[in-house]
Structure 1
Amino acid sequence: MFAKVLYNLCDNSPGYMPVIPRIHREPVKTGCMLISEDDGIGIPQDKKKLIFERGLTTSPGPTTSSGLGLLLVRDILAITGITIKETGIPGVGSRFEGVIPPGKWRIAPAE
């Protein structure tokens, strides 16, 4: 199911920008943060909390969207205790931050 999360985060961007989003992680005091960010148009401030709701889409023009991708992302991550929010800047890009609780992540040793 985690592959579906990554797919939907990446699929959220192509209509809005010319490049693939960057996905990386950052250790934080509360665990580990999974970050997906892009250089697209960003999410309007008034839509930030709504984008994870069923049927909402910010797709411009004739682009079709079911409005279910980010809902699915939120629900899959919630099963494991991971929370997600959008913290990007409108006009600069989208940034999705998923906070993974302590003990729910690990970094494989370098080979």
Structure 2
Amino acid sequence: MMDWLQSTMVEVIDLFKKKFLDAWDIHVPEIMAKEEGFNEIYLQSVLEDIAAVTGLELIRRIVGLAKVKDITCIENEEARARAERICLQVAKKFILRANQYKTGTSFVETLKEQSMHYAK
């Protein structure tokens, strides 16, 4: 299950980047936006926003009122607390280091790091 989840994360982010840049070349109307390299700079700002908002959403789902069944249905309190800690630490890294997320793999690496850090 983790392999599927991780590969899906990588594929979604990396496919988004490809489609974004392809669509940019076809649809961008602004002259300034057509400057060489501008699309990459803009894409990186979008990826930073994706990382930060993902972090905020993770925190909201653990700390806020909108708890998610994926976590709350874990009956073992120790396992649930571990999952919550992992989510919160991943969220913190996504927010504070948003500028470091440039590929799907970079998102997955953070998840793996925190999972290993809180290994049983």
Q: Which range, TM-score by smaller chain?
A: 0.3 to 0.5
TM normalised by structure 2 equals 0.32
